[in-house]
């Protein structure tokens, strides 16, 4: 099965707050970023934490602008934060269009 | 549990659980110590310093390191396979225009089997919560004042990959040997909270 996302895609992170363990940090929920790399396929940490079998799936490096995560900084300067996220946490930034 | 960690209720609780596991025969006497020793064996910031020094003197190695660090470090006899599971290693290199800094905002992920235990501040809530939001301010508190034009990228080790920073080679080090260069590299430099 083809991966849902590839480097260069614009994605939006999910907003839901799951009841158990997750590796989608709270500060990076519901935010748009760009996939800048892919780091292999790994079982989903959320499922492993519940003792469930979990099929390996792609994990992506998603680059966010700090202003999109935290709002404009006091000094007006921006930086970038790259977060490593399972594809389960991601949806296309533009759901109508093809992310490619 | 190490016998040097005999303080605090957490150690007592761990010791209690360890005893229960040993009584049931699920854990051999001393097995936990052996596992921890095996995991930590050879893990030291000296490994990271050797990797950086090689990248400084060998452009081909630097290229391979930045493309696939897990494979490149095998050239130095190192491996990311020493832990409970193989963790991919990614090396990110500072340049005149961009500075990298590593954090694990969710817990304290760090290439322990390669670089040894992480510093205490790396695991602190203050560092983990602030460096993603205000890296320039946090780095200034570490004594690292970056020029305004330098872009900062923070890497949050939120999944399976472990990260290390390749600092810029200091000026005036042309005459130094690879070993002498390695001696310049600090653990903070490998995390990105120091220039080297």
Can you tell me the mean pLDDT for B122-146?
96
Structurally, chain A folds into a number of domains equal to 1
d(C-alpha B30, C-alpha B46), whole Å:
28
Quick one: pLDDT band at residue B38, thresholds 50, 70, 90?
A: confident
Half-sphere exposure of A96 (CA within 13 A, CB side): 0
pLDDT of residue B137: 95
Nearest chain A residue to B104, by CA: A83
Q: Tell me, what's the ipTM?
A: 0.92
Is the domain of B62 the same as that of B29? Answer: no
CB-count exposure of residue B159 (10 Å: 0-12, 13-18, 19+): buried
pLDDT of residue B1: 36
Question: Quick check: is B196 in a domain?
Answer: no
d(C-alpha A54, C-alpha A45), whole Å:
8
Can you tell me the mean pLDDT for B116-144?
95
d(C-alpha B39, C-alpha B3), whole Å:
17
B94 against B85, higher pLDDT: B94
pLDDT in tens, chain A (100 residues): 578 999 999 999 999 899 999 999 999 999 999 999 999 999 999 999 999 999 999 999 999 999 999 988 766 678 999 999 999 999 999 877 655 5
pLDDT of residue B172: 96
B15 against B65, higher pLDDT: B65
Nearest chain B residue to A72, by CA: B133
Across chain B, mean pLDDT equals 91
Residues of B in contact with A60 (CB under 8 A): none
Quick one: pLDDT band at residue B82, thresholds 50, 70, 90?
A: low
HEC assignment per residue over B127-184:
HHHHCCCCHHHHHHHCCCCCCCCCEEEEEECCCCCEEEEECCCCCCCCCCCHHHHHCC
Question: Quick check: is A1 in a domain?
Answer: no
Does residue B95 surpass a pLDDT of 90? yes
Residues of A in contact with B154 (CB under 8 A): 79-82
The answer to whether A25 and B105 have CB atoms below 8 angstroms apart is yes
Is the domain of B70 the same as that of B106? Answer: yes
Whether A86 and chain B come into contact, CB under 8 Å, resolves to yes
CB contact (8 A) between residue A27 and residue B153: no
CB-count exposure of residue B39 (10 Å: 0-12, 13-18, 19+): middle
Convert the pLDDT of each residue in B158-191 to its tens digit. Answer: 999 999 999 999 999 999 999 999 999 999 999 9
Question: Quick check: is A98 in a domain?
Answer: no
CB contact (8 A) between residue B106 and residue A42: no
Whether A70 and chain B come into contact, CB under 8 Å, resolves to yes
pLDDT of residue B2: 41
Whether A67 and chain B come into contact, CB under 8 Å, resolves to no
Question: Quick check: is A48 in a domain?
Answer: yes
Question: Quick check: is B2 in a domain?
Answer: no
Is the domain of B21 the same as that of B68? Answer: no
Query: What does the buried/exposed string (b/e) look like for B118-154 if buried means 16 or more CB atoms within 10 Å of the residue's CB?
Result: beeebeeeebbeebbbbbbebbeebebeeeeeeebbb
pLDDT of residue B112: 86
Quick one: pLDDT band at residue B31, thresholds 50, 70, 90?
A: confident
Does residue B3 surpass a pLDDT of 60? no
Task: Provide the shortest C-alpha distance from residue B87 to chain A (in Å).
Answer: 10
Q: For residue A13, what are the β-bridge partners?
A: A90
Is the domain of B67 the same as that of B52? Answer: yes
CATH number at residue A63: 2.30.30.50
Question: In which domain, by residue range, is B168 found?
Answer: 45-191
Closest CB to A70 among B133, B159, B160: B133
d(C-alpha B133, C-alpha B131), whole Å:
5
Structurally, chain B folds into a number of domains equal to 2
Is the domain of B152 the same as that of B186? Answer: yes
CATH number at residue B102: 3.90.330.10
Can you tell me the mean pLDDT for B63-87?
88
Question: Quick check: is A83 in a domain?
Answer: yes
């Amino acid at each position: 099965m083809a991966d849902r996302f590839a480097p260069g895609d614009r994605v939006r992170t999910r907003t839901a707050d799951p009841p158990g363990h997750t590796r989608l940090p709270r500060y990076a929920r519901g935010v748009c970023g760009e996939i800048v790399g892919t780091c292999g396929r790994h079982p989903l940490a959320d499922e492993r934490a519940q003792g469930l079998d979990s099929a390996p799936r792609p994990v992506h490096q998603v680059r966010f602008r700090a202003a999109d995560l935290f709002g404009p900084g006091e000094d007006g300067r921006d930086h970038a934060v790259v977060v490593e996220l399972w594809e389960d946490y991601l949806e296309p930034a533009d759901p109508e269009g093809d992310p490619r | 549990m190490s016998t040097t960690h005999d303080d605090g209720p957490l150690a007592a609780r761990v010791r209690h659980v360890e005893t229960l596991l040993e009584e049931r025969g699920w854990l051999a006497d001393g097995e936990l110590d052996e596992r921890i020793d095996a995991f930590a064996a050879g893990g030291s910031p000296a490994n990271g310093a050797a990797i950086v020094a090689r990248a400084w003197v060998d452009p081909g190695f630097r290229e391979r390191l930045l493309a696939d660090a897990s494979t490149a470090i095998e050239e130095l006899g190192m491996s990311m396979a020493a832990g409970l599971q193989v963790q991919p290693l990614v090396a990110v290199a500072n340049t005149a225009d961009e500075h990298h800094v590593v954090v694990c905002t969710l817990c304290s992920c760090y290439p322990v089997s390669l670089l040894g235990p992480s510093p205490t501040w790396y695991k602190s809530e203050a560092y983990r919560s602030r460096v993603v939001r205000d890296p320039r301010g946090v780095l200034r508190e570490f004594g690292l004042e970056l020029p305004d034009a330098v872009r900062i990228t923070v890497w949050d080790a939120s999944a399976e990959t472990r990260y290390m920073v390749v600092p810029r080679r200091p000026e005036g080090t042309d005459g130094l040997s690879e070993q002498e260069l390695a001696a310049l590299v600090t653990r903070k430099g490998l995390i990105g909270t120091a220039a080297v």
